[in-house]
Amino acid sequence: MTSAQKTSARVNAAPAETPTFPLNAWYAAAWSHEIEHALAPRTICGKEIVLYRRTDGAVAALENACWHRLLPLSLGWLQGDEVVCGYHGLVFDAGGRCTHMPAQETINPSACVRTYPVIERHRLVWIWPGDPALADPAEMPDFHWNDGTEWIGEGGTYYGLRCDYRLIVDNLMDLTHETYVHAGSIGHDAITAASFDVTHTDRTATVTRWMLGIDPPPFWARNLGKPGLVDRWQIITFQAPSVVVGDVGVAPVGTGAQQGDRSQGVNGCFLAAITPATATTCHYFWNFVRTFKKDDEALTRSINLAHVNAEGKGLYDQDVTVLEAQQRAIETHPRLPFYNLNIDAGALWARRMIDRLLADEAQRSAPAAAAE
Amino acid sequence: MASIEWSSGRLRSVQDLTADIRLFEIERDGPFMPAAPGAHINVGVEIAGRPDTRSYSVVGADDDGLYRIAVKRVPQSRGGSAYMWSLAPGARMRVSAPRNHFPLSLGKGDYFLVAGGIGITPLYGMALALAETGARFRLAYAARTRADLAFADVLAARLGDRLSLHIAAEGERIDLAAEIDALPADAELYICGPLPMFEAARRHWQTRGRAPARFRFETFGSSGRYASEPFRVKIPRLGKDIVVPQNQSLLEALEDAGVEMISDCRRGECGLCTLPILETDGIVDHRDVFFSDRQKAAGGKICTCVSRVSGGEIVLDTPDRAG
Ligand code: FES
Ligand code: FES
Ligand SMILES: [Fe+2]
């Protein structure tokens, strides 16, 4: 590894002007059910955006600043499918074009606000904050587990979580933390004892861990409903820049799960779509879905509450406490680096891919100097 | 007006595209910001010995670190083109970062692009970008004579039969009415060309009840219906009697004569610089896009940053009530 390739995992407090997230990517901005025929503001990758559902059902995403005097358009209202600014009444259509100016018979041709490409898929609304000409639906991350058909679960969002989105990627790419952060629930000494494999492609990194012949932790023992030892798996895949899918489950020991036959076991997936809001805040769209007891709505509810609940005692609440404390520590110790352990391999591959996307973007915007 | 990011730069090379259209390749110091189709840059010019600025559409969307603009030498211009044509490769310049008042929205279905003369400059990059994305579009490009066409070879090669050329001297005009009527309801029109062409297209667009927001235009190319000539302006309230020279705008002449004015776009778009017309014995050559046809016909006000008077003088009022 050359020193240039080490950068982001070692130096946390990057100078403010160094971008930490690529703009040319699809990011989750909202759950589909959250976007109705009403103005919904979001901060995505440093951009202020207002979302709303048009009468034909499609979602529009406009820059949340009026062309005239920058009042957030989200403080205005909808008139049909057009947004009326709440200050002096300029009207913009879903394409960002001004269609009305007060007290004049023509419209200034420069008047418009930026629009962002939107794709609604897998129960989420995704936004492309970068160059619209590069917005390619083929680059959508695979998040089909969330579409509510084969896999069942109800998740949620931490909006405005106060940490660099990459800290969540680190967190999910290394589950040894379960033993410490989540001691007493999903944590298990077997996790720290088991060895793991890390593999990667151009855009993905995968950490695979098999714990064979162990005592099942309580959640899995209950849902497996069979006594005895189990083989447990955690196969966690990162898709650049910020989606993580963790395939997890248990099967009775020796029934061939590792060889591909999971029919005797129970299987779930934790899903994470992490969206940078600013360099130090993010939105964490999460879900836990399963293929067992799919009709059991009480189970769906209890899994949801086990992750996030009003008392702040959920699994993810525990992570959030750690993540926000970690972000504060980075800010109070700007010169202290991160050191890396063997367990960070998955996170390091993930950060390598993010860095690569960032380098591509930097190059795209400064080709002249580089070319000569 | 939002502030402009200026930087120093250098004229890398020039190339004559036609007898009176010259391509300038400009290298701007500092990080390169790519220019999207429809974007323009501002350049510092000198007019009658005084610094001024002019906006020019960026030609194409090259990301090789150079901005290309094409400038038509207009004998009766306000002097920006004359200055640009005086520059030799290597000349230092002041160059702004690109801005875009004429953005092309992608993914809109059908597009009809209309260029008249030097108005081809913003539409050239749009046409190439649309060709690249495989959008449905056509470009109609009108020029006085065949020799006045710039970029026609590249356009023909890249657009094939999506390009139609219309040579006025050979009696070929763009049939704007027929073209507009043939467009699907949700099509967008992008136009840059002389004012009469623009007005004809806009009038027909409105008559047909098409959405005003889908009629996109750029105004740098807009020259008037009449040639620019010096004219006299009187402001009785201030006791002023001023001659507006051929290479200066009415607004600039008023400012020079000490008339306090407010303005913003200086392109005939915002309407801030307008003054009431008390009387005129000439023809008011309305070159703005701020007033509607109805307002121009009524003749109550003039947009001083772009409009002029032909064949006579004009008497204006100002909002100054100090005296
Ligand atoms: S700020 Fe929106 S209309 Fe004035
Ligand atoms: S300054 Fe904007 S119309 Fe004259
Ligand atoms: Fe955790």
Q: For the residues of A71-126, what is the DSSP string, one character each?
A: --GGGSEEETTEEEPTTT--EE-TTSBEEE-TT-SS--TT-B--B--EEEETTEEE
- The topology (CATH level 3) of B6-99 is Elongation Factor Tu (Ef-tu); domain 3 (2.40.30)
> Are B101 and A110 in contact (CB < 8 Å)?
yes
Q: What is the CATH number of domain B231-316?
A: 3.10.20.30
Instruction: Among A137, A167, A200, give the residue marking a domain's end.
Output: A137
Give, for B98, the enclosing helix (H) or strand (E): none
pLDDT digits (tens, 9 = 90+) for B43-65: 999 887 888 888 899 998 888 88
Atom of ligand 2 lying closest to residue B263 CA: 1
The pLDDT value given to residue A368: 42
pLDDT digits (tens, 9 = 90+) for B135-159: 999 999 999 999 999 999 999 999 9
Instruction: Among A102, A119, A137, give the residue marking a domain's end.
Output: A137
Protein residues with CB under 6 Å of any ligand 2 atom: B 263-266, 268-273, 288, 290, 303, 305
- Report the gap between the CA of B25 and the closest CA in chain A (Å): 13
Sheet hosting strand A40-44, strand order edge to edge: A40-44, A47-53, A59-63
- The distance from CA B181 to its chain's CA centroid, rounded to whole angstroms, is 26
Best of B10, B25, B63 to disrupt the A interface (most A CBs within 10 Å) is: B63
B104 interface with A at CB cutoff 8 Å: no
Residue A24 identity (one-letter amino acid) = N
Check which CATH number belongs to the domain holding A100 and give it. 2.102.10.10
Question: What is the ipTM, given to two decimal places?
Answer: 0.75
Q: Contact, A114 vs B105, CB < 8 A?
A: no
Please give the DSSP secondary-structure letter assigned to residue B58. P
Q: Let me know whether A163 and A114 are in one domain.
A: no
Best of B99, B267, B290 to disrupt the A interface (most A CBs within 10 Å) is: B290
Instruction: Among A137, A169, A189, give the residue marking a domain's end.
Output: A137
B289 interface with A at CB cutoff 8 Å: yes
Instruction: Extract the residue ranges of chain A whose pLDDT is less than 50.
Output: 1-9, 367-372
Q: Which ligand has the nearest atom to the CA of A183?
A: 3
Question: Nearest C-alpha to atom 3 of ligand 1 is from which residue?
Answer: A88
- The span from the CA of A215 to the CA of A224, in Å, is 12
> Are B64 and A98 in contact (CB < 8 Å)?
no
Q: Let me know whether A150 and A120 are in one domain.
A: no
Give me the residues paired with residue A156 across strands.
A286
Q: Give whole-number Cα distances, A29 to A40, A61, A293, B157, B221, in Å.
A: 10, 10, 30, 42, 41
> Are B65 and A95 in contact (CB < 8 Å)?
no
A63 interface with B at CB cutoff 8 Å: no
The pLDDT value given to residue A342: 87
The pLDDT value given to residue A4: 40
Helix (H, G, I), strand (E, B) or coil at B199: helix
Structural domain contains residue A292: yes
Instruction: Extract the residue ranges of chain B whose pLDDT is less than 70.
Output: 1-3, 76-78, 108, 220-222, 323
Q: Contact, B141 vs B163, CB < 8 A?
A: yes
Contact list, B290 vs chain A (CB under 8 Å): 104, 106, 108
Q: Which ligand has the nearest atom to the CA of A86?
A: 1
Q: Which ligand has the nearest atom to the CA of A100?
A: 1
Q: How far apart are the first and last CA of chain A?
A: 27
Give me the residues paired with residue A284 across strands.
A158, A274
Structural domain contains residue A8: no
- Report the gap between the CA of B147 and the closest CA in chain A (Å): 31
- The span from the CA of B27 to the CA of B25, in Å, is 7
Q: Let me know whether A154 and A289 are in one domain.
A: yes
Give, for B212, the enclosing helix (H) or strand (E): none
Equal fold, B6-99 vs B111-218: no
User: What total of structural domains would you count in chain A?
Assistant: 2
Residue B171 identity (one-letter amino acid) = G
The pLDDT value given to residue B105: 83
The pLDDT value given to residue B1: 45
Ligand 3 centre from A340 Cα, in Å? 18
Query: Out of 3.40.1190.20, 3.40.50.300, 3.40.50.80, 3.30.390.10, which CATH number does the structure's domain B111-218 have?
Result: 3.40.50.80
Residue A281 identity (one-letter amino acid) = T
> Are B294 and A105 in contact (CB < 8 Å)?
yes
B106 interface with A at CB cutoff 8 Å: yes
Option in B31, B101, B211 nearest A109 (CB): B101
Structural domain contains residue A13: no
DSSP string, B129-171: HHHHHT-EEEEEEEESSGGG-SSHHHHHHHHGGGEEEEEGGGT
The pLDDT value given to residue B50: 83
Q: Which ligand has the nearest atom to the CA of A109?
A: 2
Q: Which domain holds residue A122?
A: 27-137
Q: Let me know whether A300 and A182 are in one domain.
A: yes
**Count of C-beta atoms within a 10 Å radius of residue B116:** 26
Please give the DSSP secondary-structure letter assigned to residue A215. P
Q: What is the model's pTM?
A: 0.84
Closest CA to A346 of A141, A179, A193, A171: A171
Ligand 2 centre from B284 Cα, in Å? 16
The pLDDT value given to residue B196: 86
The pLDDT value given to residue A370: 36
> Are A371 and B31 in contact (CB < 8 Å)?
no
> Are A133 and B213 in contact (CB < 8 Å)?
no
Residue boundaries of the structural domains of chain B: 6-99, 111-218, 231-316
Pocket test for ligand 1, best of A48, A68, A112 (most atoms within 8 A of CB): A68
Handedness of CA A324, A327, A333, A339 (dihedral sign): positive
> Are B33 and A365 in contact (CB < 8 Å)?
yes
- Report the gap between the CA of B19 and the closest CA in chain A (Å): 31
Atom of ligand 1 lying closest to residue A90 CA: 3
A105 interface with B at CB cutoff 8 Å: yes
The pLDDT value given to residue A17: 67
pLDDT digits (tens, 9 = 90+) for A70-96: 999 999 999 999 999 999 999 999 999
